[in-house]
Structure 1
């Protein structure tokens, strides 16, 4: 009888610890794209005409998101739309997220440089999906990966710089989302955890 009670207590403890670990694992948020018509022009109307979709993800504890209402100098080069600012537990801006549409090119349907061409092909600023693309999660509808974000000296006060990025696409909707984070404000472990949690859906 005592053994049974001891086993039951151990089991309850294990369940409690696991549950606590899951509940304290982060902050689940949902982003809606397009969020509004902010930054809409005659040249990007097609992007803003996209049927709304949502992106759910889990941020580190205490982190939050806020719809971007003015261009942030810190991440001004990221060419995506309906941007959200990502704030850490001290309400410091640590990243930006946004979305875009993409076209399927025959023979390059799963090629990151083709899917993310708007953010991957620049010389002075780009998501380095050719050399630092690491797949974190793959499903029937798309792939999520982490990558470096490169700044040349020409656009960063004379010094090269690398930030951290996440890219995720949905091939049913032909949309992608991109996240850029200040490299000094997020660890690789946190970055991969966020990437693993991303889900794009309608």
Structure 2
């Protein structure tokens, strides 16, 4: 009887420890929060307005960048060649990313080719979204696809060192527009990048 009681006590203790570990794991995983941004961000900018919804890590905020702030292609998070940019700040208030949009010119028979959709941001010699080697679709949608990739800042030209950030791209073939996220690789994990990409949706 004593042996059985001791066994039951150990079993209950093990279950309690397992439950505590599960609670700690759940508490440590921040819940995503829904964000909806309207493009163009400023009424003075041209273009038919539309909205994009996506999930951000808990505590993050988005703030429209001033149109005259400039986009230096030699700086990370520049989002060169797109417009109507929102800056993304993490829970500590640090600049963690940026998101903007751009129209594109679809070609008959090539409506979904990344080389066509993202032509404006994939060919830069200094700053570009890598839609070739690191491009990976994480979600097919009714109007296009959402993907992750590297964002390359090539310092000093083709022979210089490269800084890599995390990118997210999604397009809407009906509107012929795309949104581009550049995320600071030092503040955003690969899983957070994929979570954001999987959550992007175009709305009216």
TM interval, shorter chain, is: 0.7 to 0.9
Q: Out of 188, 197, 200, which is 1:198 matched to? A: 200
Which residue is 1:142 aligned to?
144
CA shift in 2, pair 1:149/1:139, >3 Å: same
Aligned length: 173
Which residue is 2:10 aligned to?
none
Which is higher, the Rg of structure 1 or of structure 2?
2
Deviations 1:27-68 (A, max 9, x none): 111110001157xxxxxxxxx432110001110111110011
Structure 2, unpaired ranges of 5+: 1-22
Alignment partners' CA distance in 2, 1:172 and 1:194: 22
Q: CA RMSD in A?
A: 2.2
Q: Report the Cα offset of residue 77 of structure 1.
A: 5.0
Structure 1, unpaired ranges of 5+: 1-16, 39-47
If the length of structure 1 is used for normalisation, what is the TM-score? 0.79
Structure 1 stretches of at least 4 aligned residues deviating more than 6 Å after TM superposition: none
If the length of structure 2 is used for normalisation, what is the TM-score? 0.78
Which residue is 1:50 aligned to?
47
2:91 aligned with 1:94: no
Q: Contact (CA 8 Å) 2:111, 2:173: kept in 1 or not?
A: no
Q: Report the Cα offset of residue 151 of structure 1.
A: 1.4
Q: Contact (CA 8 Å) 1:65, 1:86: kept in 2 or not?
A: yes
Alignment partners' CA distance in 2, 1:63 and 1:75: 16
